[in-house]
Each structure stands twice: as C-alpha cells, then as structure tokens.
Structure 1
Amino acid sequence: MKRPRSYSRVTKQTLSILGKLIKAGRLEWELTAAELSERAGISRKTLRNIENGEAGTEIGIVFEVATLVGVRLFDVDDRVGAMHNAHLEEKLTLLPKRVRPSRQEVDDDF
C-alpha cells in the first residue's frame, strides 16, 4: 500500500500560487476548463487538481498547462533560459557523477 506523502508548508504554498496563476491565465485567455484540458491532453479532474494547488500531478503536465496559458516559468526569456541551461550543464559536467560514502578507511595516524 502506498504511503501518503507529506509536503512542507513552502511546497504547498508554491503549488497553490502556481495553481492560481494557471487559473488566472486560463480565465484571461477566456478558456473553459474543458478547452484547456483538451489542449493539454489531460482530464478536467487533473486540471482542477492543478488549479487547486494539489500535489501529485506530474511536473511536466503542470509546466505544459502553465505554458499553454502564458504563465512564465522561472521568469526568464528563451535566450536567458538557454544561457542558464548551458551554465548548469557545464556545472554538472564538473561535479562528480554520483556521491557515495567512501569505503576506504583513511590512515591518518602519522
């Protein structure tokens, strides 16, 4: 049986804000819930969960719905986003591929 997941106050607040931004965008574009859910390829229940700020919906779906109604994610334009992405790729290249505790005991007895 799947255990229920608990989320921090900040996560819940962020989901609520994003959901409200999506709903406001939908209403500004004068889209019904049925129209937006059809465009996004999701059910109306999933859209309702997103707009209500409920956790559990796949993040890619949430981002796609946000994009469809014009909600800017990360508040960057395409050029700045591409530069930021390239910087992060470079940083990830320099970091270790994985982190594991060292199995080798260090001999520090001098």
Structure 2
Amino acid sequence: MAEHVRTYSRTTREALQLMGGQVRLARKQRKMSEADLAARIGIARSTLQLIEKGHPKVEIGLMFEAATLLGVPLFVEEPSRLASQIERVGDKLALLPQSIRRPRKEVNDDF
C-alpha cells in the first residue's frame, strides 16, 4: 500500500518556518542549548530540531510549548489576553448554527 504524501500550502509552510525560526532565535538569545530546552519540554533534541526547522509533522502542542517557554508570543503579545480572545471566539461561535449542512439542491420543476 502506497503511503499518502500530504502537501501543505505555501502559507502554512512559511508560517511553520517563521514560528520555528522565532523559537530558535529566542533560544539562542537566552543562551540556551538545544539539549536544555528539549529537556524542559520533555522531548528529544532531534524533535526540538524539527520544531526549529518548522517541520509540519511536529505536534502543534510541542511547538507552542517551546514558544511559550521562550516567551515567543502566540496570537497576542501578552499571554494574559489569550483568555479574553478565547471568550470572544466562543461568543461568536455561540451566535452561529450548531451544524452546517450542505445547501439542498433546488428542484427544477420547470418542465
């Protein structure tokens, strides 16, 4: 059985590369070794290297944990604002329908 090769959009690849680069830059600015950061996250050094390269197969939680430990902003400049942003998204979602259905095909009864 052939393995399915997933492709990612250019925007996704660039965003991953940017986040990985920010993690690497922050680690180096804090004069932290790969081994030290990997140990703090609880991962192998090789996984940290994949994070810093922006590899798309790395778990997003690991990427975010590395960024958080190094002070790299996630979505907002101030981490304390994340809760209010989550609440805003929740409020918007509450206004939308619970499920989305495909539009019914309109019956053409014009004979």
Fold-level match, TM-score > 0.5? yes
**Match of residue 18 from structure 1:** 19
Query: C-alpha deviations, 1:13-72, integer Å up to 9, x for none?
Result: 111111110001111111111110110011111110110111111111100011111101
Alignment of 1:64-79 (within 5 A): 64-79=65-80
Q: What is the CA-CA distance between 1:89 and the residue it aligns to?
A: 0.7
**Match of residue 40 from structure 2:** 39
Amino acid at match of 1:51: E
Tell me, which stretches of 5 or more residues in structure 2 are unaligned? none
Q: What is the CA-CA distance between 1:93 and the residue it aligns to?
A: 1.4
**Match of residue 97 from structure 2:** 96
Amino acid at match of 1:60: G
Q: Distance in 2 between matches of 1:17 and 1:105?
A: 46
Percent identical: 39
Q: What is the CA-CA distance between 1:102 and the residue it aligns to?
A: 5.1
Normalising by the residue count of structure 1, what TM-score does the alignment of the two structures yield? 0.85
**Match of residue 55 from structure 2:** 54
Amino acid at match of 2:36: E
Q: Distance in 2 between matches of 1:77 and 1:108?
A: 58
Q: CA RMSD in A?
A: 2.2
Q: Distance in 2 between matches of 1:10 and 1:104?
A: 34
